[in-house]
Structure 1
């Protein structure tokens, strides 16, 4: 009889062909009604449940599916709706939900930031005027529809109260515990409803326990779960951690819950070491995350099985559940649809569906003996070993170049103070120069043209003429708008990481390997499967053409090494630091190629620098030092007159200001609009003397901000920054916006910059008198 069970923590929402994304965008465009959207989404939920059932998963989640974001879902369910979205017609409707995520004509969207150390973005809950309630138990709806229509008793999944409040904003730090306590009766109501409906297990995600939590937070965890579980009798709670090891192991395993989920992939052995040292309660279930839920490589099943056997020696057979290390939200759906990958590589890959198969294979091995899965273990090992021994993973020239630089300290020849004077003379920019981050609208026409070219319907010359026509139109448009520093628009680029990966050695690309980044925005991360090297110029042709059309400076646009690494599925046989340095050396050569064509303003984007930050405080310094090293290695040979820019996306920058300074970029732009001015406060306590642009409007919302709103943002920034260092720009690239939104917003932005510039000149003139 089967003893050990298998489980899934969460399944990708987007569908094999991004059906989820297409339905959402059709609804937003008005071509799909609300009822049609909800019907389509229900069909997708059912498809995901049925697929996991077919794979042999015992505990199948519900509540992992979302119309936008699971953090937003939790906040919305508990009525945490900011006042600016409330109206007399009610606030619990779909329009309010999407307004919180995307903004509306009347209200700015909620802030968005990275989900722990991943490339997934969540909507930040706002809990000022805190009055939680159960607005609608959506989790109960999902459980009942699966039970009644599919006859599957699922495992509801919900974000836990401590993590929900920890990820929120709008409250004072000393009110944290009070906010959590106010949520307890509402969580109890949700759980009680599920218990009465027949749920056997509820997965409560508390990834905050994998961070460096305090004594007070541990005591609060005990209090919260004691109160919650005391009101339940027939349903079991599984407290789930992931992404790293838990520091407070002894306290966590003794929380008054029925099961604990640990990550045994990304814990660096710490969870197992603590398990061996302190044991595990006999009355609890251990949910063991054995398969990597964040990367795409097949598991070494022999290694994983031996690890499981060690765990099985520590707990009874009815205590162990086998599962991925985290939700499979972070992986593509299936490798089955990939028909163009080299067999050597495809044989080593596993996406969400294949990872669930690995979970069930390991479960079978425990239940029926290792001999029952030996053929699969041997076959998988042969496929992984073939890639390991391949020429692609063993390029001596790449390894030697990295080794040579390891003995040197990279950095610009002149210090910033002297470079600044060189740049002032070289570029002669006005006060508060206005620019954009890089990308301009990728219209349907542009996407269709790229598709025709890739399919061979268009030749290289026809495609080149099309791209150059768009570049010409937008260079002219930017000049008309009045921008001071222009961009070429990136019309030839599909994705800011994929584009470079396609031109570098050591990368491979899938056809359908999409993952969700934020909302309906999906990305298709490259697969770094070999040593990375520069083959030929990647960006020079289009950027040099654009610069030839204008006398104004135009930025060359590169994606930085840390972002390429963090936004790719990276080989797991070497450290990420090694991959960073290989990519940095390739980009170093690209900067030289741009300079050879007289491009001397070059933006090396690092939007993902902070998202790779380890959750444990003690590990962060090493990561940040390596990030600085990789960035400096990229830019170290740039000429004195070359002005290096960089850009960073939504994240909490306050605690890495030293790192930002150490990058030694001449100008940095940071997404700041959705923080509603909160990011500016970071510069009140930390002096920053280099050029900086704090995004003055949110490009992730379709609304066109008025001049007054952006002028107010500039004014707020200039309370802590010198006008001579401040740049005016949107908070991110404009790829996802339409032409009208882009042009009108940029016109307002440049007008706001002009008005503020004139005000400063007038003030200075008055002072001079």
Structure 2
């Protein structure tokens, strides 16, 4: 019998209940016990959904209040002393590591002021994980009542036997880093960490866990020799417990690390991603031990398109022919964390388009259906197979997917269209003459706080409860208020605050042909932050201007240069659910042409600073070096340049990157030819700045002087020290002073306080350098 399994389920709830509960707890409106109870309720609800769908192997410990890696950091005691010294409750310590904590002394408790740990993208997804941060001579300690055991027993009590999920020891360490001012190589701590895994596996076995899923996703990377060598001793030690270990990989192929499998023959099963890399199947099967089971990830855990049953069944049957039915599992390609909860919540989707989609709940049914088809034969699920084939055909033949005018325009793109009129020295001279900016110019990344009132008015407009004229007047008043705040703060380049925008990709998608949108298709990005990715369903074009009206109005009432704000083509693509029937380079070029029209129109409207954000450029980078990566960077850079190169020299092009560890492909960042780059550097210990020196980067840079993902307010001295650190790498004339990301998720009180300190720190350096 072929069993069905998934690697993980979305944790936020069908209606974002987890987000609402955690934010209520942070605001002091929900008790700690009520928060914990809500987490338990959601876990039970999600296990029942999977069981009802017919899933045989259901995961546990895939739940987290903030991030699963952060949960494991706390599980193994990898908590820096700056958090433990306050003797916080475990849940508060957990959140302090994830989002920072700034709290005055009260009720006999000392004041707390601690920043968050570094947070970066999870492989090439838009999910963010908290980096394990190790100390020299790191001491590990397994938590009492370990979370994986507690949650396994919760499910067991409800009559559901689950497969606990752990991030493997090699991946946990390799994805971590040495703490600031520490020199430890994380993988060197493996021998000290393994006994805790052994202890945990023993506790899980004693609790009744028959199998344990251990994720080692770094096997899709090009690994250093010492990291590859770590797998053999690690899994020999873990295997000694006698648990049935399912080693899971995803987001790529493992053929280049196939030699690692030779030392892992004792493992019960191996999971591979056959959506991203189906061609690895034959090689992996050949490398399996004589009794090892293959978990075949044939249902996409990263996208929302229905699974093509015919293709998926062919892949599974190919594996069965080699291994037999008892040695094959049908599974999701990865955790379903990256997909929305359920399609049944979408009451407003066009039925034609809705028929093409499958969210997490629906994917559980797909997995069970495929498993039944290969176990009992196609006749057992004939109705489902016929409906699926009909959906596949309908999508392929739909006129909504093809626009001949878009294809024609793409065919006429020339190389010259990717180049600015002049090189940077001529451009910056023209820009300085037009903008007249001071040394150490200050600005923000784009958005200002999205208040409750903004959300209420937007919701009223969406529901038709207020007129377009009433909503426009409200937005204009918000823009006026934001400009007044910037006047008071003394910033040098203004933004209009983006009060009219719901999301930096959704807003543009709603104004482009070729997109579709959900009502409740929420996906966790980090912590309580959820996004509702648009869906690219067809060829993309811009029917009308998207941002010109608001930016033009803001510029007309501003004393300082106004910055137009756009989301770049790669980010629009990566933060959407892209088509799976057309190469992503084609979709990116279509987006670039639409944005090019918008950039030119902004310039015509008198907006001479235009920021085209590309925070997802790093995210889209193929996980391995080689031809695929080179090709990606070529078309990604071309897309950005195509979108920005249509303006005159005196118009300044900015771009923003957050969580961009781009040292290994810096040449592509330079090739974007943006006049000003702003980057996330507040959590990165200035490590990103050295590359600008090594590569003699000639253009301007805003490295981000404080972390906006935390509610804590940095002091003026803290920002001053950070700027001083930056000047060790950058020339004064290169340096812009800004936060490390947009301020949409922050509150006004903390925003004004932080920006006041930022502007004052910039002014102190300006006074020092301008005599």
TM-score by length of structure 1 reads 0.96
| Aligned position for 1:98 | 95
The answer to whether 1:709 aligns with 2:707 is: no
Q: Pick which of 221-230 and 388-397 moved more.
A: 388-397
What's the secondary structure of 1:326's corresponding residue?
coil
1:133 is paired with a residue of what secondary structure? coil
Using the TM superposition, give the Cα deviation of residue 175 of structure 1 relative to its aligned residue in structure 2, in angstroms. 3.1
How many angstroms apart in 2 are the aligned matches of 1:174 and 1:548? 54
**Contact 2:178–2:185 (CA<8 Å) still a contact in 1?**
no
The answer on whether the counterparts of 2:134 and 2:186 sit within 8 Å (CA) in structure 1 is no
| Structure 1 segment 173-188 matched on structure 2, within 5 A | 175-188=185-198
Alignment partner, residue 79 of structure 1: 77
Moved more, 612-621 or 434-443: 612-621
Name the structure 2 match of 1:436: 444
Provide the secondary structure at the position in 1 that maps to 2:669: helix
* Secondary structure class of the residue paired with 1:532: strand
TM-superposition CA deviations, 1:414-434 (whole Å, max 9, x none): 111211111111111000000
What are structure 1's unaligned runs of at least 5 residues?
A: none
- 2:740 maps to 731
2:538 partner SS: strand
1:291-343 C-alpha deviation (Å, 9 max, x unpaired): 01100000110111111111111112211111000000000011111111111
Match of 2:105? none
Question: Between Structure 1 and Structure 2, how many residues are aligned?
Answer: 754
Q: How does 1:332-731 map to 2 (within 5 A)?
A: 332-405=340-413, 410-618=418-626, 619-731=628-740
The alpha carbon displacement at 1:409 in A equals: 5.8
Question: Which stretch shows the higher mean deviation, 582-591 or 126-135?
Answer: 126-135
Distance 2:192 2:638 in 1: 45
The answer for the alignment partner of 2:230 in structure 1 is: 220
TM-score, normalised to structure 2, is 0.96
Contact 1:69 1:123 in 2 (8 A): yes
Residue by residue, what CA displacement relative to the aligned partner does 1:595-649 show, whole Å, maximum 9, x if unpaired? 1111111000001110011111112221111110100110121122111000011
| 8 A contact 1:347–1:384 mirrored in 2 | no
The equivalent residue for 1:107 is: 114
Contact (CA 8 Å) 1:344, 1:383: kept in 2 or not?
A: no
| Alignment partners' CA distance in 2, 1:386 and 1:152 | 38
Task: Determine the C-alpha separation between the residues in 1 that align with 2:760 and 2:580.
Answer: 49
- Give the conservation status (yes or no) of the 8 Å contact 2:134–2:184: no
The structural deviation recorded for 1:386 is: 1.5
Aligned-partner Cα distance in 2 for 1:303–1:439: 44
1:120 to 112, 127, 144: 127
Question: 1:610 is paired with a residue of what secondary structure?
Answer: coil
Write the distance in 2 (CA, Å) between the matches of 1:623 and 1:418. 30
Instruction: Tell me the secondary structure at the aligned position of residue 329 of structure 2.
Output: strand
Q: In 2, Cα distance between the equivalents of 1:253 and 1:119?
A: 33
CA distance in 1, matches of 2:397, 2:414: 25
Per the alignment, residue 110 of structure 2 pairs with: none
RMSD of aligned alpha carbons: 1.4
- Do the aligned residues in 2 keep the contact of 1:279 with 1:314 (CA within 8 Å)? no
> Which digits, 9 at most, give the CA deviation of each residue in 1:641-696, with x for residues without a partner?
11100001113122222111000000010011122333333334232111110000
Which stretch of structure 1 is more off in the superposition, 576-585 or 685-694?
Answer: 685-694
Q: Give unpaired runs (5+ residues) of structure 2.
A: 103-112
CA contact (8 A) 1:254 1:281 kept: no
Q: Is the 8 A contact 1:117 1:612 kept in 2?
A: yes
* CA distance 1:571–1:70, change in 2 (3 Å): same
Question: Residue 49 of structure 2 aligns with which residue?
Answer: 51
1:164: which partner in 2?
Answer: 172
Deviation at 1:406, TM superposition (A): 5.8
Q: Distance in 1 between matches of 2:757 and 2:227?
A: 46
Q: Is the 8 A contact 1:280 1:314 kept in 2?
A: no
Q: Which position in structure 2 is the counterpart of 1:249?
A: 258
Name the structure 1 match of 2:201: 191
Could you tell me how far 1:258 is from its partner in structure 2? 1.2
